[in-house]
């Protein structure tokens, strides 16, 4: 399918989702749905670097928080000037995306020339340092946190949370389209070769550093965009919870549970896992919900390395002649990539 029809179909589906949510008539569905959509964006963004390139980013929380704090900074800036007080969310998303994208690029530039593990560790540390900076920056609230007043209503669609939901829905569509576009472009094939064998990719002329930097920047920017409306959603932003590793575990678990090699994987993972979490948070407790995410993640990476998409492909392989589907299976198949030092256990 070409990109344009895909975009149209996605928009129609998004429209149906919004209409369906309106038909329920209860604002809770928007509050819960917003979080699900936010995770669709975060896990799709994570997957662009993690799933396509094979570089694990533990700093989802950091990029997300950067977007959120850009909004706080703009909010404070405008609150002190004569400008109109309500800033359109898309503008905030754009700013948050640019800030996170720049940080992603910088991080990548410093660490991506080294082995993959160093990048992962650096992203872990990035969260700590950015948090330190925010805690010491009084303008955006410091360790006390920042309050954002959510407007009561948005024009045309009623309550403000519906407006937030709608913008996040559009961002989710946008990020899925971007992910799918990358997947089918030269860039995406470059990423796949890096994931499978970076040395071979380099040898066959893939500009590995440039491809990785593009991936990090896009991925970071999308995470920042997902974070930008968050202060308006939550009302009170506090560094500890905004920079939390909880975002990272979710953003990693969702693509790995759904399937990392194709755009629909993170979507399936995010919808399933976050709906489950919403349910558990309401019925049991929010601590249990992290336990379940952890257990599911471990279970899936051990038992079903290609996620739910992989399980489906296994059953429907004979019907599935789609090129991307076949590529995804054959490259990720156990035993397809065997490093020289992992031959079976020999008797001592």
**What residues line the site for other proteins (CB under 8 A)?**
50, 54, 56, 58, 110-111, 114, 116-118, 120-122, 124-129, 131-133, 135-136, 143, 195, 245, 248-249, 252-253, 256, 260, 287-288, 290-291, 293-295, 297-298, 301-302, 305, 334-335, 337-339, 341-342, 344-348
* Beta carbon nearer to other proteins, 12 or 279: 279
**Listed residue (76, 86, 210) closest to 146, CA to CA:** 76
Largest CA distance in the chain: 78
* Beta carbon nearer to other proteins, 174 or 305: 305
**CA 8, 10, 14, 16 torsion: positive or negative?**
positive
Chain-centre distance for alpha carbon 231: 18
Kindly state the smallest distance separating residue 199's Cβ from other proteins, in Å.
Answer: 13
Q: What are phi and psi of 193, to 5 degrees?
A: -70, -35
**DSSP code string of 44-87:** HHHHHHHHHH------HHHHHHHHHHHHHHHHHHHHTSSS-SPP
Angle at 132 between CA 128 and CA 138, to 5 degrees: 150
Kindly state the smallest distance separating residue 308's Cβ from other proteins, in Å.
Answer: 15
Extract the tokens encoding 315.
């059953």
**CA 260 to CA 56: how far, in whole Å?**
12
* Beta carbon nearer to other proteins, 81 or 283: 283
**DSSP code string of 172-189:** HHHHHHHHHHHHTSHHHH
Kindly state the smallest distance separating residue 338's Cβ from other proteins, in Å.
Answer: 5
Kindly state the smallest distance separating residue 99's Cβ from other proteins, in Å.
Answer: 18
Pairing label, strands 153-154, 158-159: antiparallel
Kindly state the smallest distance separating residue 258's Cβ from other proteins, in Å.
Answer: 13
Kindly state the smallest distance separating residue 332's Cβ from other proteins, in Å.
Answer: 8
* Beta carbon nearer to other proteins, 97 or 258: 258
* Beta carbon nearer to other proteins, 1 or 302: 302
Kindly state the smallest distance separating residue 249's Cβ from other proteins, in Å.
Answer: 5
* Beta carbon nearer to other proteins, 150 or 327: 327
* Beta carbon nearer to other proteins, 127 or 176: 127
């Amino acid at each position: 399918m070409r990109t344009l029809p895909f975009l149209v179909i996605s928009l129609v589906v998004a429209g149906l989702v919004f209409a369906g949510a309106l038909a329920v008539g209860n604002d809770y569905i928007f509050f819960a749905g917003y979080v699900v959509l936010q995770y669709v964006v975060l896990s799709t963004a994570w997957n662009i670097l993690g799933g396509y390139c094979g570089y694990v980013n533990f700093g989802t929380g950091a990029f997300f928080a950067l977007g959120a704090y850009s909004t706080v900074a703009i909010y404070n800036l405008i609150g002190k000037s004569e400008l109109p007080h309500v800033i359109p969310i898309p503008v905030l998303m754009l700013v948050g995306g640019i800030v996170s994208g720049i940080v992603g690029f910088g991080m990548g530039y410093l660490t991506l020339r080294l082995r993959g593990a160093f990048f992962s560790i650096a992203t872990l540390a990035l969260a700590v340092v950015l948090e330190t900076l925010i805690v010491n920056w009084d303008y955006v609230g410091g360790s006390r946190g920042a309050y954002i007043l959510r407007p009561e209503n948005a024009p045309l669609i009623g309550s403000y949370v519906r407006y937030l939901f709608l913008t996040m829905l559009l961002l989710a569509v946008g990020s899925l389209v971007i992910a799918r576009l990358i997947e089918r472009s030269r860039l995406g094939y470059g990423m796949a070769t890096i994931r499978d064998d970076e040395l071979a990719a380099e040898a066959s002329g893939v500009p590995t550093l440039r491809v990785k930097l593009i991936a990090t920047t896009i991925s970071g920017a999308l995470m920042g965009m997902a974070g930008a409306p968050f202060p308006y959603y939550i009302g009170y932003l506090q560094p500890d919870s905004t920079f939390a590793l909880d975002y990272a575990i979710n953003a990693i678990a969702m693509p790995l549970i759904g399937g990392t090699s194709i755009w629909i994987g993170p979507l399936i993972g995010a919808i399933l896992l976050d709906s489950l979490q919403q349910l558990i948070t309401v019925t049991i407790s929010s601590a249990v919900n992290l336990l379940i995410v952890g257990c599911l993640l471990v279970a899936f990476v051990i038992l079903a390395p290609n996620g739910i998409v992989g399980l489906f492909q296994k059953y429907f392989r004979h019907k599935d002649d789609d090129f991307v589907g076949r590529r995804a299976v054959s490259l990720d198949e156990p035993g397809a990539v065997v490093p020289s030092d992992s031959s079976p256990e020999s008797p001592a």
